[in-house]
Amino acid sequence: MSEPWEFTATEGLKAISGGTLSCEGWVASCFERIELRDDTVLAWKYLDRKGALAAARNIDKAGSGGLAGGLPFGVKDIIDTADMPTAYGSSIHHGHLPGRDAGCVAITRAAGGVLLGKTVSTEFGHRFPGETRNPNNPDHTPGGSSSGSAAAVGDFMVPCSYGTQTTGSVIRPAAYCGAIGYKPTYGDINTNGVMPNTPSIDTIGAITRSVEDLALVRSILLEEAIQELKPPPLSDLNIGFYRSPFWNDADKKMQELITNCVECFASAGATVTDVELPNVSRNFEELHATVSGYEFSRTLSWERFNCSDKLSAPLRDGRMREGLETSYERYRECWRRLERQRIETDEFFEGLDVLVTPSATGEAPKGLMTTGNAIFNSTWTALGTPAITLPLFVGPLGLPMGLQLVAGRFKDRKLFDIAQAVMLAHDKGKLLC
Amino acid sequence: MSEPWEFTATEGLKAISGGTLSCEGWVASCFERIELRDDTVLAWKYLDRKGALAAARNIDKAGSGGLAGGLPFGVKDIIDTADMPTAYGSSIHHGHLPGRDAGCVAITRAAGGVLLGKTVSTEFGHRFPGETRNPNNPDHTPGGSSSGSAAAVGDFMVPCSYGTQTTGSVIRPAAYCGAIGYKPTYGDINTNGVMPNTPSIDTIGAITRSVEDLALVRSILLEEAIQELKPPPLSDLNIGFYRSPFWNDADKKMQELITNCVECFASAGATVTDVELPNVSRNFEELHATVSGYEFSRTLSWERFNCSDKLSAPLRDGRMREGLETSYERYRECWRRLERQRIETDEFFEGLDVLVTPSATGEAPKGLMTTGNAIFNSTWTALGTPAITLPLFVGPLGLPMGLQLVAGRFKDRKLFDIAQAVMLAHDKGKLLC
């Protein structure tokens, strides 16, 4: 019999409503897993065992009635919480108590979610890593910036966590940790109470271990009724294979796995076309970096002027300095290109159900000093499209690798359906990956 | 001789650099004015006389070297401050200490600005009024939501203040209080550390008593060198007269004053054309309300779930309820229309230097229970264009009334130049208003 910590969100909630699991039992089991594993993985910045168990008992007693009735979850430590410290991945804000929950936390708790604690973030959601290790091999990075959120879910410490993505901060760590990651359409999930990085691009995302769970989390966060997944037959799909201008940055193994997978889609009857995105060349990366640098350096104004010695050198002398060296005119030129390109990309996706592309350049790199390369993610974050990573592959070092699915903006539900179809085909061995 | 509290920002900074005024003297003089007037006006939620005088003395000693070296300023109490409480206009957050300054505060302080205190906001920047009164007649509203910021500047308690606008929250109160108000292009001023209302629309704005000061404040906030104003001859201008679909909501007196002013522009040689905005009918107001309601109800999720009894009934049962009753699909339909319409409006403004329209429907209404009608403002806030109100008129009750100037997005500097040309013409009696 499975331990409760093994449950996906959907499985656990079904067990609770079926009377075979209590919320307290689920939460306690997650903490057992955390106790067993977190000395190695270091996914959590702060844990509130006592508070979480008390909340769980209350839900067991009263019943929450909400979509998330009893669901244990974790949130990245750049997301504010009323009752737990939020340090934004920086020593500057050590012990800071924000006084209110971010919207995504308040809504999930109101729906019956039980917050276990705060997961490790890189410094202000940028690159400088926290202490988290890859659960599959602690000598490797978990990715970032939602490092702890990805590691905790990938390692079965919690079924669901929230992160944020400004470059590749949900999709990449989820892929590295063997979890499912989801970056919604820009603007779908209100970011109030989240420390901003690049407000024009920042997106709250979710990490789970099933596609059904993503759909559940979206319903929770949008306060809508659960919508049943309707996975289409692969043969109905019009799939774009997008190598991207960054294809040669991907490992040979990644190239091979993705290409093979795309061939499987075609064998299953899908229409597969090689596609290029209008106006996205290697320079597009610079567009993202320019907008992000300009905004990020302003977002951290208080820290810049009052405690810049406590910012990491890579942040202070890298992205922040670049941002301060960018003129308003140059920033706006890039920002306006993005604004138009988002709309053009909607049109591009009208003829396409989904686009497939790598989730990252390969397996999680060895070492903890970098969180890996986000080159396969920043395009979608900047364009505001929804993206999902599915843990379909295993690399030469035995570490997980992801296939990234991307849809047009506002088509997140359709993307779930397709992701579910792909997972089902994968589970049946139909994608010989 | 003028008292220092009478100085505009630019005048005071010139006096400091000329050696005829100390920063401490300026700040102390502002506090004298506050002591004299604020029992009546109630513009300030919190004042830090001791801290401000200490900061001023430090600047006098060290010299700040910054653009704002010695400038007293105030900020709306939905803008976070590290050393002063920030209550967001709600009893829920009474005494809250955010732990860091919002970007606009940190940048202004780093440039040598001296924060005197926090100005009264309506509840969370929505409609439910605070205690502030109109300095021209305390039986009348100062407007909102940046009520205290407008009243404090209009009443000479401080030369410059920051507010925010989601509907008409900077332009309207500035007009009612006889000050100059400026809502920048959406996205120009980073909103980190400001309690969000409607993130897709929220804009930080400034209130001053001269157009030169607006240009100064923009330079401070963008961390750019001061750019000299270059007021063009009125005869060079291509002016659009925009009555708007809401013309009949304006008082007869407002209609008469604006029409007369437009005739003066034409007499001065300007090309004046009656214009209509593409795709803006009376329904446009609903577009704004739909986007705003949906986002606002999510922004205040923590308050909604944890202390909704402490929200005002108009907020809870009005905008918030409407927002919760709006479907995701309807919200996104309106949001997408706005996204496209912002770009279309850029094109509309290509043939036009500036558009003139009322700043509000008339004088500040009597009574303190409403903050007046924002119908002449919400279009520009939603479309993201910059707008300025100039206190050109006096109404039948002896209260100030404003002319609103609007330019295309990203043309804020050009708008300053034109606003300065209009003020100069007005001061010379060339606009027989």
Q: What is the CATH number of the domain that holds A84?
A: 3.90.1300.10
Interface test with A, best of B190, B197, B295, B347 (most A CBs within 10 A): B190
Residue range(s) defining the domain that contains residue B288: 284-337
What SS3 string covers A187-201? CCCCCCCECCCCCCC
For chain A, list residues with pLDDT below 50. 433
**Number of Cβ pairs closer than 8 Å across A and B?**
114
Of A191, A302, A335, the CB nearest to B100: A302
What average pLDDT does range B191-206 have in this prediction?
98
Q: In this structure, is residue B268 part of a structural domain?
A: no
**Contact flag A110-B305 (C-beta cutoff 8 Å):** yes
Rounded to the nearest angstrom, the minimum Cα separation between A395 and chain B is 39
B369 touches chain A (CB under 8 A): no
- The answer to whether residue A157 sits within a structural domain is yes
Q: Is the pLDDT of residue B432 over 70?
A: no
Would A79 be classed as within a structural domain? yes
Of A93, A295, A305, the CB nearest to B190: A295
Whether A95 has its CB under 8 Å from any CB of chain B: the answer is: no
Q: B175, B205, B222 — which closes off a domain? A: B222
CA distance A190 to chain B (A): 6
Q: Whole-model pTM?
A: 0.97
Number of structural domains chain A divides into? 1
Residue A302 in contact with partner chain B when CB distance is under 8 A: yes
Chain B contact for A324 (CB, 8 A cutoff): yes
Chain A residues whose CB is inside 8 A of the B339 CB are 339, 342-343
Examine residue B308 and state whether it is found in any structural domain, yes or no: yes
A324 contacts on B by Cβ (under 8 Å): 223
Cβ contact B98:B118 at 8 Å: no
B196 → closest Cβ in A82, A93, A192: A192
Say if residues B195 and B123 touch (Cβ distance below 8 Å).
no
Chain segment B295-337, per-residue pLDDT in tens: 999 999 999 999 999 999 999 999 999 999 999 999 999 999 9
Interface check B226 vs A, CB under 8 A: no
Nearest-CA distance B184 → chain A (Å): 13
**Is some CB atom of chain B closer than 8 A to the CB atom of A93?**
yes
pLDDT at B205: 98
pLDDT confidence band for B63 (50 / 70 / 90)? confident
* Phi, psi for A162 (deg, rounded to 5): -110, 145
Surface of A (397-426) touching B: CB under 8 A: 410
Helix H, strand E, coil C: the string for chain A is CCCHHHCCHHHHHHHHHCCCCCHHHHHHHHHHHHHHHHHHHCCEEEECHHHHHHHHHHHHHHCCCCCCCCCEEEEECCECCCCCCCCCCCHHHCCCCCCCCCHHHHHHHHCCCEEEEEECCCHHHCCCCCCCCECCECCECCCCCCHHHHHHHHCCCCCCEEEEECCCCCHHHHHHCCCEEEECCCCCCCCCCECCCCCCCCEEEEEECCHHHHHHHHHHHHCCCCCCCCCCCHHHCEEEECCCCCHHHCCHHHHHHHHHHHHHHHHCCCEEEECCCCCCCCCHHHHHHHHHHHHHHHHCHHHHHHCHHHCCHHHHHHHHHHHHHCCHHHHHHHHHHHHHHHHHHHHHHCCCCEEEEECCCCCCCEECCCCCCCCCCHHHHHHCCCEEEEEEEECCCCCEEEEEEECCCCCHHHHHHHHHHHHHHHHCCCCCC
pLDDT band at B407 (very low <50, low <70, confident <90, very high): very high
Asked if B306 has any chain A CB less than 8 Å from its own CB, the reply is yes
* Partner B contacted by A226 (CB < 8 A): no
What is the per-residue pLDDT across B235-249, written as a single tens digit (0 to 9) for each? 999 999 999 999 999
Cβ-defined contact of B299 to A103 (cutoff 8 Å): yes
Average pLDDT along chain B: 97
Q: Are residues B302 and A101, on separate chains, in Cβ contact within 8 Å?
A: yes
Residue B65: band (very low, low, confident or very high) from pLDDT cuts 50, 70, 90: confident
Instruction: Please check whether residue B218 lies inside any domain of the structure.
Output: yes
Instruction: Tell me whether B328 touches chain A (CB under 8 Å).
Output: yes
Q: Would you say residue B168 lies in a domain?
A: yes
- For residues B303 and B217, membership in a common domain is answered with no
Residue B299 near chain A (CB below 8 Å): yes
pLDDT for A432: 65
Are the beta carbons of A187 and B103 separated by less than 8 Å? no
According to the model, what pLDDT value does residue B170 have? 98
Mean pLDDT of B354-365: 98
Mutate to test the interface with A, among B192, B204, B308 (most CBs of A within 10 A): B192
Residue A229: inside a domain, yes or no?
no
- Beta-ladder partners of B203: B165
Which of B96, B101, B199 is the closest to A190 by Cβ?
B199
- Identify the closest residue of chain B to A346 by CA–CA distance: B336
Say if A299 is an interface residue toward chain B (CB within 8 Å): yes
Question: What is the pLDDT at residue A1?
Answer: 63
- pLDDT at residue B178 in the model: 98
B224/A contact by beta carbon, under 8 A: yes
Measured between CA atoms, the residue of chain A closest to residue B111 is A305
B127 lies within 8 A of chain A by CB: no
Q: What is the mean pLDDT of residues B123-138?
A: 96
Domain membership flag for residue A38: yes
Q: Which residue of B has its CA nearest to A102?
A: B302
